[in-house]
Amino acid sequence: MNARATRLALAVGAPLLALLAAFLLTSLVLIIAGDPVADVWDTILTVPEPRNMANIVNNATVLYLSGLAVAVGFRMNLFNIGVDGQYRIAAFVAAVVAGEAWLPGYLNTLLAIIVAILVGAAWAGIAAVLRATRGVSEVISTIMLNAISTFLVAFLLRQAAVREEGSNIIGTKQIPEGSRIPSFQLFGTPGTEVYGFLFVAILAGVLYWVVLNRTRFGFELRASGQSLTAGMASGINAKRMVVLALLISGGLAGLVGLPILFGDAYAYGTTFQSGLGFAGIAIALLGRNHPFGIALGALLFAFLDEQSNPLQILVDVSPDIVKITQGIIVLTVVIAYEVVRRYGVRLEQRRVAQALGTDTKAGVAA
């Protein structure tokens, strides 16, 4: 019982230690650069206004989906850097489909969502096939596919585009009103609208957990992710698992742009948010591929992004400072877990040694 409490304390202690270290290191950067440290933290660490809270939840929704997509790959020991390309091309095609409105109302929405999943999966599928048949590292192929998708989307956008009146921004056709996903007010006041897509994201998280932890497929995925040889020895088709994991990862990536598309932008244009895939990598790492952890990581990143916005105006410091914090957190979290793990192992050894009534190391060799 006591050992269990210690383990719990260590598990909670690690991330807190990591956050503290990240704040200290960021402060060090601020001090060296001669910026007002206290004012910066004062701005970032205030309780957000309801309006800001809604923004944080919205951004976290998007980041969460991105983190989930990356995490599926990680569980199979695959590194899908391509979430960035996959979500952009999927959001573009979904925007075209939804804009054309071949089906009425929410059927149109559903069709667009399915199309987005399929397109994301297909784009990741290229990397999957190259990996399974030709042994091309998915790290490299997805990086190449990211660049290719940038140019491909730019080209297709120019073919499908309509020009917004009085501006140079081009975009796809607007999604009809009846197919948009309604937002709800987080605190019941105007200005606190949160994407209805939030529920889809939560559902995706639950599905992720159930599939990975409660199905045979999930077991095989995790097993071959931890040891490919052990997996193969027990009859798991490794190539099939690689392809499936990347397809699922790509399918989830297809969802990443949709909250924005159906809840805010209603069209895919040149200004559509990019770079969400890379944030997803950090968040999946931060959440240790656990759906709940990823949610916390997404909220933390969204919180830092939102709270740093007024830095430039209020204290004349570039908001980019929080990117340093975010990067450091990714490192310190892992380091903290490692340090705590080593400490935990030592505690365990000592406890076992005591229980066995010996103090020699030989007693705990097993």
Which residues in this chain contact another protein in the complex, by CB under 8 A?
29, 33, 35, 79, 81, 130, 134-137, 139-141, 143-148, 151-152, 154-155, 158, 278, 281-282, 285, 318, 320-328, 330-331, 334-335, 338-339
CB of 81 to another protein, least distance (A): 8
Q: What Rg do the C-alpha atoms of the chain give, in angstroms?
A: 23
CB of 103 to another protein, least distance (A): 30
Count CB-CB contacts under 10 A for residue 30: 19
CB of 178 to another protein, least distance (A): 33
Looking at the Cβ atoms of 267 and 321, the one nearer to another protein is 321
CB of 50 to another protein, least distance (A): 28
CB of 79 to another protein, least distance (A): 6
DSSP β-ladder status, 170-171 and 162-163:
antiparallel
Looking at the Cβ atoms of 176 and 327, the one nearer to another protein is 327
Closest by CA to 236, choosing from 219, 211, 250, is: 219
For residue 237, give every residue at least 6 positions away whose Cβ sits within 8 Å of its Cβ, in sequence order, or none.
none
CB of 105 to another protein, least distance (A): 35
For residue 364, give every residue at least 6 positions away whose Cβ sits within 8 Å of its Cβ, in sequence order, or none.
349, 352, 353, 356
Cβ atoms of 151 and 10 within 8 Å: the answer is no
Looking at the Cβ atoms of 114 and 132, the one nearer to another protein is 132
Looking at the Cβ atoms of 241 and 328, the one nearer to another protein is 328
Distances (CA, A) of 19 to 8, 247, 283: 18, 34, 14
Looking at the Cβ atoms of 53 and 324, the one nearer to another protein is 324
Span between the terminal Cα atoms of the chain, in Å? 22
CB of 335 to another protein, least distance (A): 5
For residue 97, give every residue at least 6 positions away whose Cβ sits within 8 Å of its Cβ, in sequence order, or none.
108, 111, 112, 115
Closest by CA to 217, choosing from 206, 205, 231, 233, is: 231
Looking at the Cβ atoms of 148 and 244, the one nearer to another protein is 148
Cβ atoms of 277 and 91 within 8 Å: the answer is no
CB of 40 to another protein, least distance (A): 11
Looking at the Cβ atoms of 151 and 182, the one nearer to another protein is 151
Three-class SS state of 76: coil
In sequence order, which ranges of 309-364 are alpha helices (DSSP H)?
311-315, 321-355
Looking at the Cβ atoms of 3 and 20, the one nearer to another protein is 20
